[in-house]
Amino acid sequence: MNHEHHEGMDMGEHHHEEPVEDSEIKDWKRKTYLSWIFAIPIAILMLSERIFGMSLIPENYLVIVLLVLAFPVVFIFGFQTVKSGFRGLFTFYFNMDSLIALGTVVAYLTGIFSYFNFVSDYSGVSAMIMAFYTTGKYIESIARGRASQEIKKLLELGAKNARILRNREEIEIPISEIQIGNIMIIKPGEKIPTDGVVLKGFSSVDDSMITGESLPVDKKTRDLVIGATINQDGILYVKATKIGKDTFLSHIIELVENAQGTKVPIQKLADKITSIFVPSILIVAILTFAGWWYFGENLSRAIGVGVSVLVIACPCALGLATPTALMVGSGMGAKRGILIRKGEAIQTMKEVKIVVFDKTGTITKGKPEVKVVQSSKRVPEKYLMEIAASIERLSEHSIAKSIVEKAQLRKYKEVKNFMVLRGKGVEGTIGRKKIMIGNSKLMNEHKISLKEFGNSIEKFETLGYTTMIISENNEAIGIIGVADVVKSDSAEAIAMLTSEGYKTIMITGDNERTARAIAREVGISEVIANVLPEDKAKKVEELQKGLSQVQSTSSNLGQSKGMVAFVGDGINDAPALKQSNVGIAMGTGTDIAIESGDLVLVKGSLIGVVQAIKLSKATFKKIKQNLFWAFAYNTIAIPLAIVGLLHPVIAEIAMALSSITVVTNANLLRRTRI
């Protein structure tokens, strides 16, 4: 059987505050809908009166109606924007909110001052500006997809209760009441409550939810077990050794949190320009107002021109440039099984130079299969599979199941005296013949000669196969090589990445010989083997900094450095997914891995990695185009506003048209082939 032992890996409950559900999307949705409920009547009144010369409400009451309708849009639904904007103005930390806040508040105040005949009323314009801006923020909140529940889901992995021995009686207690030294009883099919050491019993334990590896691990007396893993086929008596924050699961949670917290935020192109754009517009607006007033125009005209500059400069199109492209890109990806969870990944992906792959469940299927069968010259292969399947069908081990599946027998031979041999294999009697199936250690203990199969065993192990030896009456009669199977499209996907200039690396907890064999099969150039789950994130960080030495398939050591995309599917991959510049999770993997990824490949195919890269590049190209058009609009319109050729209402309409242009351009992304 497979007897890999994950020493030092501990896991258990974690006393951690459950994350609060992110309500950002719901909040912006509510503000957007409510804003337009008030803004649409304002738009109708403004257009009918200012454009078509039709007054739907008497002039004496129009200003009051516009002020009343605009107030909740600006000062209730847009309160946070106004607050943030003025804070930025007062602290000289300029952001997009600064122009929005100043433009909307100044426009709104003109409605109040219009009573004194100082200025014309532009209060309705303030509501339209805020409604467009709120819409952009709503779209942006959807695109970012911040609602992440990975910590909550990690917490849910653990067992809820534990069965312990107390005063020689079995009692059931909540997991939170377990103390170090408690003797836990874990029956087949149950989760191990917390980290511990086996005192009595033998069983196979499914570690896949933690390690990501497909083959269960045999556990016997003195072996360490990991909390939240699943006991398969025997009763285990386990002494609790670690609880609470000292467990392996807690450690994984901590790694996810740390990687999440230290990840450098992506600075969007628009953000880099805002610090210069905002104060520049403020200065221009003030100078425009002063110039018009100084050169003989009345105060009303000067304020009107100044407001026009502020309105035309309000970056609604700029605010929509990125989120609309992300929305379209996300929709395109979803149709192809690519989910964009974090909008920042779109920008980051184009800078990626290294693509790191987990092995099991990512490159491979994650299910062991019989790869090769070799029988002795004395027995036919059919007979070998018949007795092997008849014995192994009594075992719950995944390797045993793969042998049974391979044989596809309609009728099994009767087996007596079946026994699991701890850490070695199984045995049983068929007729008068004693059959043993297991590893070389088992055969050596019974002094069974392996001379006939020596070269084959070495060859199979070089290929990374788990080698099962079958003996009959203490004589070896055949061997079976079992291994995980590479996905059919893995080699194709990696070849496409290599042709595009990406460096591909495989990282795995497997031994180097197995890892290199799989890497060669799919065309991966470099390997990092024998990596513990908790160290994967560290290896990714080393690659980012150029500190990690990797083993090439030609045995040469080298260094790699650059922005890293990590592709994985297991819980053990979650910290690495977070640490990487772009985390790509397989949709066929665990929920934790999926929630930790910036991108999710629903179909679990590595071709999706190639498509995701193409989609990311196309989407970011469209974002740059949108930003260009947004700034081009400002470049043309602001001078017209300065010289007094744009009435604030016309400026607001032009601003809306620029937003429409950006949205339309974003939708052209749908024509891109990926």
Active site residue 358: yes
**Token digits for 553?**
């398939």
- What is the rounded CA–CA span in Å between residue 556 and residue 558? 6
- What is the rounded CA–CA span in Å between residue 482 and residue 460? 9
- What is the rounded CA–CA span in Å between residue 382 and residue 569? 37
Q: Are 35 and 4 in contact (CB under 8 A)?
A: no
**Token digits for 41?**
């009547």
Collect contacts of 278-284 with beta carbons under 8 A, ≥24 apart: 278/88, 278/94, 278/95, 278/96, 278/98, 278/99, 279/94, 281/99, 281/309, 281/310, 281/313, 281/638, 282/89, 282/98, 282/99, 282/102, 284/309, 284/313, 284/638, 284/642
Mapping DSSP onto H, E and C, the string for 194-249 reads CEEEEEECCEEEECHHHHCCCCCEEECCCCEECCCCEECCCCEEEEEEECHHHCHH
DSSP label at residue 228: T
- What is the rounded CA–CA span in Å between residue 244 and residue 439? 38
Pairing of strands 236-242, 183-186: antiparallel
DSSP label at residue 510: S
Among the listed residues 543, 550, 589, the one whose alpha carbon sits nearest the alpha carbon of residue 569? 589
Give me the catalytic one of 218, 358, 573, 598.
358
> Which residues make Cβ contacts (< 8 Å) with residue 353, sequence separation at least 6?
502, 503, 562, 563, 564
Is residue 607 helix, strand or coil? helix
Catalytic residues, by residue number, are 358
